[in-house]
């Protein structure tokens, strides 16, 4: 491809004023700069570890893929076959087997050409066809929405991966190359693909222990979503690296001198943070660039497990350790097989230093994870253990699939288990159980066995009687007491933190006998009625018929069964029954003779309780609940126009609600309108101001007013009203902003948050590494 043609292609794909100029981006974001792999390059790489027979089979697969992709081109103008070649080359660099590389070459053949799986199996074998089929999307089937199609495709991928892990390895190689060449795409598409990469493929790479893939995908996603921020941090790190060179060299030499004196031969390596890691640290901890880079990282790689602990003693004698900053992942490995000792010490001039101490074998597994088996022909104990861990995890995917009724529920459950934050708790026999953060004894019980979870009646945490819904912490010892008559309750769905437990609970509730579900619903209703002195058993048939029709149920038992399965909130149903009773008994007076119960809302109830998108209620707002036929309770702000009009026209469907304890990690969307001048500078300043208050902007549009005036419509994420007030106050201090207010109208204008990044194309000179997220509270 000529330089002129590449430039023409880049100029056609640019978003004009909504993204940085391509020439300003790092080299590997420019499509013309990405090296194109030839068939000879691939074969030469394969010959390093495969037989000539295998290489000829791979050549045959290449010719087959080339023939069927003939006439197809990528967005950059290159022949489409360059992409499968690049994917196969990445797989070859991981020393994958012949089947996997053939699948990499043909991974798009089933999806983009008229070839059938049967034909491919006849030519290349059923193994290759199954892997290719597992990677292929479900584009030829018709789904209700794009989201449903994406969920089904991902569901199919994970299920195929559970049967053969090589499916996900091909998909990861495919995603790596797509991310490397994403720069040719429109800005909003880059953002969408990058967000999907961070949400799904980065956690999968982490779960498989593939650290090099995990880091590269994170960096490429950050680069494509936030090119300006990436460039600012990239330049700042380069400048800082020179300033840190002297102290780094001193620490390195002192460490290397201390270890041989104790008879320990080791490799000592410096460890750089990724730009995405620095960015996340700044954002999550609300600190500036200097604070994010204040820790110096080193890896000490020794020969044996025993030397790891000896090295720890030497380093603690050399520098003073920081209390509470020690983790032993050798004794308790992470779920992906990662093992190391982490310790933080105070080095020369008060410099914090983090050491990671591991053996060579641990280092290989930490970097390559499941690929260790192929890259190093490693059949040692650790490699076998990580294979066993991966197999167990993949089998758990099949269990979650078995318990999920549809794709969206499957994805919801699986994403919980994909994210890497874990806690480690103990059984009474000292067996270690790994669970997602915010898990409860219910999650623990289901992790032991489905029957233990289904019949859990009580628990003891560290020897103390505790609630089954109490949050667990690292190091807790948990003991579950079972009872054959105990069964899961609908409220457990909201309490658990693991996808496995949630899927098992829902499955149990769905498969209960219809009569049992109806009885459970009636019991919930009866208990809620007792709180407001309403005798459910005295409800006349006419009232039951009325509420059945409102909720779209064909019978009272069907309605009660839905209630038992958690489709409705018992308190809200009781409130509606009370209103219907009052209307019937005292129609003339128009007054209630029964005390109405207030529903408590935490903001994450799910199907039974939802937050209205018309007014975006947040903790601290006065709220009301509206009983929606067949959909549960919708929560609105008191001043919402729907609330005002609805209470006037149909007061019987509305009930008082209040906020219960909301998890500290919870965030809620709130629309904010800004009147400002100097649009470009203001957008960047707003993003910075929001970050300074531990908030984020997830939606932004700009309307041009008269003269230099512009109107910014933001969607910000906050914890509650106080947090929103701090964000608004910080935004109001931004230069050139004339007014900031929370929107009270019913619709939020504008596309997704990616437009926000594009507004900053001319802001590079105004941002620098020191004040990107600096504290400006003194303004």
CB atoms within 10 A of CB 474: 11
Count, residues in the chain: 779
Count of the separate structural domains present in the chain: 4
- The verdict on residue 569 lying in a domain is no
Dihedral, 258, 260, 263, 265 alpha carbons, nearest 10:
120
CB atoms within 10 A of CB 565: 20
pLDDT of residue 412 exceeding 60, the answer is: no
DSSP reduced 3-state for 601:
strand
- The verdict on residue 311 lying in a domain is yes
> Exposed, middle or buried: residue 51 (CB in 10 Å: 0-12, 13-18, 19+)?
exposed
Residues 248, 290, single domain; the answer is yes
Tell me: the pLDDT tens digits for 196-218? Answer: 888 778 888 887 888 889 889 99
Q: Is 111 a catalytic residue?
A: yes
Any idea what the CATH number is for the domain that residue 748 is in? Answer: 3.30.70.260
For the chain, what percent of residues have pLDDT higher than 90? 19
- The verdict on residue 519 lying in a domain is no
The residue range of the domain holding 288 is 229-375
- pLDDT at position 383 is 54
- b/e sequence 667-683, b meaning 16+ C-beta within 10 Å: bbebbbbbebeebbbbb
What's the CA gap between 548 and 36, in Å, rounded? 64
**Among the options 112, 196, 216, 516, which is catalytic?**
112
Residues 163, 31, single domain; the answer is yes
16/245: higher pLDDT: 245
For the chain, what percent of residues have pLDDT higher than 70? 75
DSSP reduced 3-state for 701:
strand
Structure tokens at 387: 């294979």
Nearest to 564 by CA among 510, 628, 527, 604: 510
Place of tokens 């499941």: 370
In angstroms, what CA-CA distances link 164 with 106, 136, 330?
17, 14, 28
Confidence of residue 639 (pLDDT cuts 50, 70, 90): confident
Last residue of a domain, one of 510, 534, 557: 510
Residues 360, 397, single domain; the answer is no
Residues 27, 143, single domain; the answer is yes
Mean pLDDT, residues 370-384 taken together: 61
Residue 481 · residue 453 · CB < 8 Å = no
- The verdict on residue 250 lying in a domain is yes
- The verdict on residue 616 lying in a domain is no
Structure tokens at 64: 């087959």
Confidence of residue 749 (pLDDT cuts 50, 70, 90): very low
Q: Is 504 a catalytic residue?
A: no
One-letter-per-residue 3-state SS of 3-66: HHHHHHHHHHHCCHHHCCCHHHCCHHHCHHHCCCCCHHHHHHHHCCCCCHHHHHHHHHHHHHHH
CB atoms within 10 A of CB 715: 22
What's the CA gap between 333 and 410, in Å, rounded? 27
Q: What is the DSSP letter of 623?
A: E
Q: Are strands 632-637 and 609-611 parallel, antiparallel or unpaired?
A: parallel
Which residues are CB-contacts of 557 (< 8 A; sequence separation ≥ 6)? 514, 515, 518
CB atoms within 10 A of CB 547: 18
pLDDT of residue 147 exceeding 60, the answer is: no
pLDDT of residue 89 exceeding 90, the answer is: yes
607/52: higher pLDDT: 52
- The verdict on residue 629 lying in a domain is no
Residues 177, 296, single domain; the answer is no
Q: What is the DSSP letter of 466?
A: E
What's the CA gap between 286 and 148, in Å, rounded? 36
pLDDT of residue 246 exceeding 90, the answer is: no
Tell me: the pLDDT tens digits for 479-535? Answer: 999 988 888 887 788 788 887 888 888 778 777 666 777 777 787 788 777 777 777
- pLDDT at position 488 is 87
Residue 727 · residue 693 · CB < 8 Å = yes
What's the CA gap between 761 and 19, in Å, rounded? 5
pLDDT of residue 608 exceeding 70, the answer is: no
In angstroms, what CA-CA distances link 32 with 75, 105, 233, 439, 778?
12, 22, 24, 48, 47
Mean pLDDT lowest for which of 100-114, 142-156, 343-357, 597-611?
142-156
> Exposed, middle or buried: residue 500 (CB in 10 Å: 0-12, 13-18, 19+)?
buried
What's the CA gap between 489 and 467, in Å, rounded? 14
Nearest to 121 by CA among 133, 129, 131: 129
Place of tokens 């003269």: 707
Residues 365, 442, single domain; the answer is no
- pLDDT at position 745 is 55
Last residue of a domain, one of 451, 483, 510: 510
For residue 599, the number of C-alpha atoms closer than 13 Å in the C-beta half-sphere is 30
- pLDDT at position 357 is 94
Residue 438 · residue 497 · CB < 8 Å = yes
Q: Rounded to the nearest 5°, which phi and psi values hold at 587?
A: -60, -40
381-403 vs 360-368: helix crossing angle, rounded to 10 = 30
Residue 745 · residue 670 · CB < 8 Å = no
pLDDT of residue 104 exceeding 80, the answer is: yes
What's the CA gap between 271 and 355, in Å, rounded? 9
What's the CA gap between 491 and 468, in Å, rounded? 11
Q: Rounded to the nearest 5°, which phi and psi values hold at 707?
A: 65, -130
Sheet bearing 456-461, strands edge to edge: 464-466, 456-461, 478-482
pLDDT of residue 694 exceeding 80, the answer is: yes
- pLDDT at position 737 is 87
Mean pLDDT, residues 141-161 taken together: 58
- The verdict on residue 546 lying in a domain is no
Any idea what the CATH number is for the domain that residue 400 is in? Answer: 3.10.20.30
Residues 94, 122, single domain; the answer is yes
Structure tokens at 704: 């041009």
pLDDT of residue 428 exceeding 70, the answer is: yes
CB atoms within 10 A of CB 501: 30
Average pLDDT, the chain: 76
Residues 363, 418, single domain; the answer is no
Consecutive H or E run containing 260: helix 227-261
Residue 631 · residue 620 · CB < 8 Å = no
Nearest to 40 by CA among 92, 2, 110: 92
Structure tokens at 635: 């929560």
Tell me: the pLDDT tens digits for 249-293? Answer: 888 899 999 999 989 999 998 877 788 888 887 877 777 777 776
What's the CA gap between 103 and 86, in Å, rounded? 12
DSSP reduced 3-state for 459:
strand
Last residue of a domain, one of 354, 375, 396: 375
Q: Rounded to the nearest 5°, which phi and psi values hold at 353?
A: -130, 130
Consecutive H or E run containing 521: helix 514-531
What's the CA gap between 142 and 588, in Å, rounded? 54
- The verdict on residue 627 lying in a domain is no
Residues 458, 351, single domain; the answer is no
Residues 44, 191, single domain; the answer is yes
Residues 130, 243, single domain; the answer is no
Mean pLDDT lowest for which of 95-109, 133-147, 459-473, 756-770?
756-770
Mean pLDDT, residues 19-26 taken together: 38
Place of tokens 């798009």: 108
Confidence of residue 316 (pLDDT cuts 50, 70, 90): very high
**Among the options 111, 199, 409, 412, which is catalytic?**
111
Residues 326, 443, single domain; the answer is no
Confidence of residue 34 (pLDDT cuts 50, 70, 90): low
Mean pLDDT, residues 624-636 taken together: 75
């Amino acid at each position: 491809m000529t330089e002129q043609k590449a430039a023409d292609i880049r100029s056609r794909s640019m978003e004009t004023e909504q993204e940085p100029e391509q020439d300003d981006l790092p080299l590997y974001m420019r499509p013309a700069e990405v090296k194109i792999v030839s068939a000879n390059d691939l074969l030469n790489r394969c010959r390093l570890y495969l037989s000539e027979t295998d290489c000829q089979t791979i050549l045959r697969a290449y010719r087959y893929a080339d023939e069927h992709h003939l006439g197809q081109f990528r967005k950059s103008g290159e022949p489409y076959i360059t992409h499968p070649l690049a994917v196969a080359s990445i797989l070859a660099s991981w020393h994958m087997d012949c089947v996997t590389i053939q699948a990499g070459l043909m991974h798009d053949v089933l999806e983009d050409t008229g070839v059938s799986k049967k034909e491919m199996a006849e030519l290349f074998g059923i193994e290759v066809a199954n892997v290719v089929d597992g990677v292929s999307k479900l584009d030829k089937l018709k789904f209700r929405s794009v989201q449903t199609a994406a969920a089904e495709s991902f569901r199919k991928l994970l299920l195929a991966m559970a049967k053969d892990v090589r499916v996900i390895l091909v998909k990861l190689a495919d995603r790596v190359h797509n991310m490397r060449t994403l720069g040719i795409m429109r800005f909003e598409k880059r953002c969408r693909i990058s967000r999907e990469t961070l949400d799904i493929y980065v956690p999968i790479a982490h779960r498989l222990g593939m650290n090099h893939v995990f880091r590269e995908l994170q960096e490429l996603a950050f680069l494509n979503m936030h090119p300006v921020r990436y460039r600012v941090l990239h330049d700042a790190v380069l400048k800082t690296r020179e300033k840190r060179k002297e102290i780094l060299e001193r620490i390195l030499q002192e460490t290397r001198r201390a270890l041989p004196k104790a008879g320990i031969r080791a490799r000592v390596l410096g460890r750089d943070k990724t730009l995405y890691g620095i960015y996340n640290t700044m954002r999550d901890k609300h600190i500036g660039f200097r604070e994010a880079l204040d820790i110096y990282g080193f890896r000490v790689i020794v020969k044996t497990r025993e030397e790891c602990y000896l090295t720890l003693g030497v380093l603690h004698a050399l520098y003073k350790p920081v209390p509470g900053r020690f983790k032993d992942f050798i004794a308790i490995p992470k779920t992906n097989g990662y093992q190391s000792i982490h310790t933080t010490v105070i080095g020369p001039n008060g410099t914090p230093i983090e050491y990671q101490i591991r053996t060579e074998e641990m280092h290989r597994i930490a970097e390559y994870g499941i690929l260790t088996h192929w890259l190093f022909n490693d059949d040692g104990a650790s490699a076998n253990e990580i294979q066993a861990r991966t197999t167990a995890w993949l089998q758990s995917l099949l269990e979650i699939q078995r318990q999920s009724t549809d794709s969206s529920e499957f994805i919801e459950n699986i994403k919980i288990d994909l994210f890497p934050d874990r806690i480690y708790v103990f059984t009474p026999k000292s067996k270690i159980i790994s669970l997602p953060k915010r898990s409860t004894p219910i999650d623990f019980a289901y992790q032991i066995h489905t029957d233990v979870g289904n019949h859990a009646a009580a628990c003891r945490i560290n020897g103390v009687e505790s609630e089954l819904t109490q949050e667990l912490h690292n190091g807790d010892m948990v003991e579950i007491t079972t009872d054959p008559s105990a069964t899961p309750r609908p409220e457990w769905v909201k309490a658990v933190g693991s996808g496995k437990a949630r899927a098992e609970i829902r499955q149990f509730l769905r498969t209960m006998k219809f009569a049992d579900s109806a009885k459970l619903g009636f019991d919930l209703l009866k208990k809620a009625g007792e709180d407001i002195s309403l005798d459910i058993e005295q409800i006349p048939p006419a009232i039951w018929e009325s509420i059945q029709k409102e909720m779209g149920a064909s019978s009272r038992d069907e309605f009660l069964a839905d209630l038992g399965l958690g489709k409705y909130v018992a308190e809200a149903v009781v409130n509606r029954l009370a209103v219907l009773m009052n209307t019937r008994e005292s129609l003339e007076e128009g007054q209630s003779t029964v005390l109405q119960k207030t529903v408590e809302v935490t903001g994450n109830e799910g199907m039974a309780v939802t937050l209205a998108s018309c007014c975006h209620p947040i903790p601290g707002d006065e709220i009301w609940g509206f009983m929606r036929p067949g959909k549960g309770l919708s929560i609105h702000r008191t001043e919402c126009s729907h609330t005002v009009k609805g209470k006037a026209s149909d007061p019987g469907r509305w009930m008082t609600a209040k906020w219960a304890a909301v998890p500290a990690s919870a965030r809620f969307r709130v629309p904010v309108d800004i009147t400002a001048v100097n649009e470009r500078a203001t957008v960047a300043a707003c993003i910075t101001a929001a970050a300074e208050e531990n908030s984020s902007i997830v939606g932004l549009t700009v309307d041009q007013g008269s003269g230099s005036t512009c109107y910014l419509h933001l969607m910000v994420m906050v914890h509650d009203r106080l947090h929103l007030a701090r964000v608004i106050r910080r935004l109001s201090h931004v230069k050139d902003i004339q007014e900031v207010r929370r929107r009270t109208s019913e619709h939020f204008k504008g596309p997704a948050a990616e437009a926000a990044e594009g507004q900053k194309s001319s802001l590079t000179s105004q941002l620098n590494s020191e004040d990107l997220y600096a504290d400006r509270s003194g303004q």
